[in-house]
Amino acid sequence: MHAHLIHAHPEPCSFVAAMRDVVRETLVEQGATVTISDLYEMRFNPVLSAADFPVRARADYLNCALEQRHAHAAGTIAADIRDEVDKVLAADLLVFTFPVFWFSMPAILKGWFDRVFLSGAFYGGRRIYGKGGLAGKRAFAAISLGGRRHMFGDDAIHGDLEGQLLRHFFQGTLGYVGLAVHRPFIAYHVPYVDEAERTRMLAELKAAVSMIDDRPFLPMPRLDDFDETLAPRKTPR
Amino acid sequence: MHAHLIHAHPEPCSFVAAMRDVVRETLVEQGATVTISDLYEMRFNPVLSAADFPVRARADYLNCALEQRHAHAAGTIAADIRDEVDKVLAADLLVFTFPVFWFSMPAILKGWFDRVFLSGAFYGGRRIYGKGGLAGKRAFAAISLGGRRHMFGDDAIHGDLEGQLLRHFFQGTLGYVGLAVHRPFIAYHVPYVDEAERTRMLAELKAAVSMIDDRPFLPMPRLDDFDETLAPRKTPR
């Protein structure tokens, strides 16, 4: 198995960096090869713009999806994007380690998706979810939160984390391109817990990664339940 | 009324830019003053990092929330952030115009929140939702989507847009800091519709903005329903 880790935290010695290291070490112990994109260390540019497309399909008006399809087909996408696309395509498992900022990703990671998950290569038309461009690959995220576990859930103050607040990430981004998305590892209350609790969480993460093949997947929309316009079928298949 | 518009689109002549102009013109016609942060034009830096904090509370380890609180109190936050904070604090109404990328914001706008919505100034501890730092102000978003209206909703393929996919934005970001969040204006299927439909949508937006004071608000968590640990009260107040 080959895994590619995408890491995004502004502090090199963060708890999230420790989670990244645990994931990497545990995967290597199991015989996997592992590569890493450390977005802060790389000073990755997260801003999708005309500069991504040195050779334009349409010079007078920037339609990003159109230009992504054109640049991918023509091999003219910006070099920093091409490098990341190649790493994604080479991987069987994508791992994301990041702190939750505003119930979502840090901008540097959000922009990695904006720029790297190319229209055409990764999705397009009805080539989404089970038919997405990365179907057959898996994803796993290990994330940190300042909030506590009881703040999340259907009756909790913020709502459900996986199905509501982070649905744009787990389903709308990872699942959308066809990835099978393992149940995430969520470290709660990280800035406020003591060293013993951090050690306990890292051990729990290690156990989870050592059994990653058995880890359940999040539910995703099934294309068979929808018609050719992606409206719900009146008679389910 | 003073409104501040935050705009994020990589194409200066986009439909989203036309929505921004309609919002601005309509507000001015009603007697409001309007300022704009055009994030692409400003080349706004969306990456929260140690550079945001020239004078550190703790030099050896970057805890972003801690440094935001310290820098805000000491008046040492980076100048580009200070400028945006001042614009937010001067406004009665914040307007956001952006295209939905990956069921969320473009990274340049995500990073605007990461860097500008300061811990301490905008939220902290139980100073969230109705007690957030921007309580008393309002927010309104006019956004564009490639998808069609029937792809969103409880039984639709992607799920509910306001309550699930964009909950991290409407509730988890805008509502979290105390803003009253008007029901958004959503332009569907934008890259694929004809000029007549664009004109119709802009007219609908103009009508919505001309009656913005009557526009309903999205539901938000009520702090009174939760105890001092933010767990649900067994006996609702």
Cβ contacts (< 8 Å) between A157 and chain B: which residues? 129, 221, 225-226, 230, 232
Q: pLDDT of chain B along its 237 residues, tens only?
A: 999 999 999 999 999 999 999 999 999 999 999 999 999 999 999 999 999 999 999 999 999 999 999 999 999 999 999 999 999 999 999 999 999 999 999 999 999 999 999 999 999 989 999 999 999 999 999 999 999 999 999 999 999 999 999 999 999 999 999 999 999 999 999 999 999 999 999 999 999 999 999 999 999 999 999 999 999 998 766
| Integer CA distances (angstroms), A6 to A15, A109, B187, in order | 15, 8, 33
For chain B, say whether A148 makes contact (Cβ under 8 Å): yes
Interface of B with A in 84-123 (CB under 8 A): 101-108, 110-111, 113-114, 117
Token digits of residue A109: 């990671």
CATH of B2-225, one of 3.40.50.360, 3.30.700.30, 3.10.450.710, 3.30.70.100: 3.40.50.360
DSSP helix/strand/coil, A95: strand
Give Cα separations from A53 to A40, B100, B105 (angstroms). Answer: 23, 20, 21
Give the model's pLDDT for residue A234.
Answer: 81
Nearest residue of A to residue B152 by CA position?
A231
Closest partner residue to B172 (CB to CB) among A48, A103, A150 is: A103
pLDDT for the residue numbered A125: 84
Could A167 and B164 be called an inter-chain contact, meaning their C-beta atoms sit closer than 8 Å? yes
Q: Which amino acid, B30? A: Q
Percent of chain A topping pLDDT 70: 99
Q: What is the ipTM of this complex?
A: 0.97
Q: Which residue of chain B has the CA closest to A59?
A: B11
Closest residue on chain A to B49 (Cα) = A10
- Contact of B124 with chain A, judged by CB distance below 8 Å, is answered with no
Q: Is B230 on the interface with A (CB under 8 A)?
A: yes
CB A55 within 8 A of CB A71: yes
Among the listed residues A5, A184, A104, A231, the one whose alpha carbon sits nearest the alpha carbon of residue B48: A104
Q: Is A19 helix (H, G, I), strand (E, B) or coil?
A: helix
Phi, psi of B177 (to 5 degrees): -90, 10
pLDDT of residue B236: 60
Q: Model confidence over A77-87: pLDDT tens digits?
A: 999 999 999 99
- Give the residue on A whose Cα is nearest the Cα of B116: A102
